């Protein structure tokens, strides 16, 4: 148990659906991250939130919409996804932005887009 909880663990959705991924951290951290991991590919950083403000957005399509209502919760809202968006979506948190930060990851949400 890493202290970072992601729900749901598995999600199957159609291209016209709207769904949300949830991440909650119980570590008292103030930075949170969304990563995407496609099959046989390295992790790709999608979004970074620090003190509930988005500080990084790595050219992610607008069909992915993050939300960070407080330092413990992070959401990824999904709409009109494509089959190539099927991947493992990972959430992470760290104590603070900075050179020594250590990121703690959740177990991920396995997303399949049909």
Partner 1 sequence: DAKTTQPPSMDCAEGRAANLPCNHSTISGNEYVYWYRQIHSQGPQYIIHGLKNNETNEMASLIITEDRKSSTLILPHATLRDTAVYYCIVRIANTGNQFYFGTGTSLTVIP
- Footprint on this chain of partner 1 (rule: CB under 8 A): 2, 4, 6, 31, 33, 42-43, 45, 48, 50, 55-56, 88, 90-92, 94, 97, 99-108, 110
Q: How far is the CB of 104 from partner 1 (least distance, A)?
A: 7
Paired with 80 in beta bridges are none
Instruction: Give the SS3 label for residue 73.
Output: strand
Instruction: Give the SS3 label for residue 95.
Output: coil
The pair phi, psi for residue 84, each rounded to 5°, is: -70, -5
* Encoded tokens for 71: 């330092």
Q: How far is the CB of 43 from partner 1 (least distance, A)?
A: 4
CB nearer to partner 1: pick between 90 and 113: 90
Paired with 65 in beta bridges are 77
Q: How far is the CB of 16 from partner 1 (least distance, A)?
A: 27
CB nearer to partner 1: pick between 31 and 113: 31
Instruction: Give the SS3 label for residue 84.
Output: helix
CB nearer to partner 1: pick between 48 and 81: 48
Instruction: Give the SS3 label for residue 22.
Output: strand
Q: How far is the CB of 48 from partner 1 (least distance, A)?
A: 5
């Amino acid at each position: 148990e890493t202290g970072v909880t992601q729900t749901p663990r598995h999600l199957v959705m159609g291209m016209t659906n709207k769904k949300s991924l949830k991440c909650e951290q119980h570590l008292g951290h103030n930075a949170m991250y969304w990563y995407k991991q496609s099959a046989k590919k390295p992790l790709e950083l999608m979004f970074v939130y620090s003190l509930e403000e988005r500080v990084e957005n790595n050219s992610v399509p607008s069909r992915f919409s993050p939300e960070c209502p407080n330092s413990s919760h992070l959401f990824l809202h999904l709409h009109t996804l494509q089959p190539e968006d099927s991947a493992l979506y990972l959430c992470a948190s760290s104590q603070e932005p900075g050179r020594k930060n250590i990121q703690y990851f959740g177990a991920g949400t396995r997303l399949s887009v049909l």
